[in-house]
Structure 1
Amino acid sequence: MKKVILFIALGLFSLTGLAQRLPKYLSEKGFWVVETNRHQLKSNIVYFYNNSNELIYKEKVEGVVLRLNKRRVKMNLKKVLDQSLLAYEQQKKGRENEMLLATAMGKR
C-alpha cells in the first residue's frame, strides 16, 4: 500500500515538470493583432497592444505577405512589440507608422 501511494505521489510530481512553457515569440507584456485584406494579401495593418488592451503602436505594411506561421515573422513582431512597449512607457503616447516592422523584416 505504501508503494502504491509513493508511486502515485511520484507520478503527480513528475506531471508538474511537463507543464507547457510560453513560446519565445510571445511577450509577457503585450500582444499584437494583424489585420489583412483578403483581396489584397500584401496589405496589412499590425496593431500592438499592452496587457491593459491599450493601443501602443500601429503600422501599415504594404507590399509584403506576412506569413504568420513562420517563426522568424513572429520573432520580428515580438521585437517590434518590445520596442514599442519601451517607447510607450517613456512617452505614454501611442505611435503610428514609424516603419519599425518593415525595418525589422528587412524591407526598406
Structure 2
Amino acid sequence: MLQYFKQLTLTAIIIIAGFTASAQHQLQPLAKDEGYWVIETSVQQPKQARVVFYNHLHQVVYAEQVNGFVLHIERTKVQRKLNKALKEALTASEQGTLAANENRVVAAYFRKK
C-alpha cells in the first residue's frame, strides 16, 4: 500500500510540473523577414556596448554606441526593448528618415525613468 501511495504521489507531481512548465510564456521572436540585432561588448568594459541592427538582407541598417549601463541580453525585458528599437530603426530606414547623426534610438528605450 505504501509503494502504491509513493507511486501515485510521484505521478501527480510529474503531471503538475508538466502543466506549470507549459504555462510559461515565451518571448515572441521577430519574423525572419524583418531583421535582427547584434550586441558587441567587451569583458573589460561591460558598460560600453555597440548595438547593430541588420535587415533581412544582412545589411547594416543602424549602429549605436551605448555607454553607462550593462545590457543583459538574457533578460526578456531587454530583448523586448531591443526588438522595439529594431522595428523603429527598420521603419525609419525604409522611410529614409533615419539620419546618420541621430544616435539615440537604443538609448531612448533604456533611459532611466
CA offset digits 1:7-51 (Å, max 9, x no partner): xxxxxxxxxxxxxxx832x32200000000110000100000001
The reply on whether 1:78 has 2:83 as its aligned counterpart is: yes
Contact kept in structure 2, 1:58 and 1:95, CA below 8 Å: no
Question: Normalization by structure 2: what TM-score?
Answer: 0.68
Name the structure 2 match of 1:98: 103
Quote the sequence identity (%): 31
Question: Normalization by structure 1: what TM-score?
Answer: 0.71
Q: 2:30 aligns with which of 27, 32, 35?
A: 27
CA offset digits 1:41-63 (Å, max 9, x no partner): 00100000001001001010001
CA offset digits 1:46-101 (Å, max 9, x no partner): 00000100100101000110001111100000000000000111118774652111
Pairing 1:2-81 to 2, within 5 Å after superposition: 23-24=27-28, 26-28=29-31, 29-81=34-86
CA 1:93–1:105: 2 relative to 1, 3 Å: closer
Alignment size in residue pairs: 86
Determine which structure has greater relative contact order: mean sequence separation of CA pairs < 8 Å that are 6+ residues apart, divided by chain length. 1
Gapped runs of 5+ residues in structure 1? 1-21
Counterpart CA distance in 2 for 1:104 and 1:92 is: 19
Name the structure 1 match of 2:17: none
Name the structure 2 match of 1:13: none
Whichever of the two has the greater Rg, that structure is: 2
Moved more, 33-42 or 94-103: 94-103
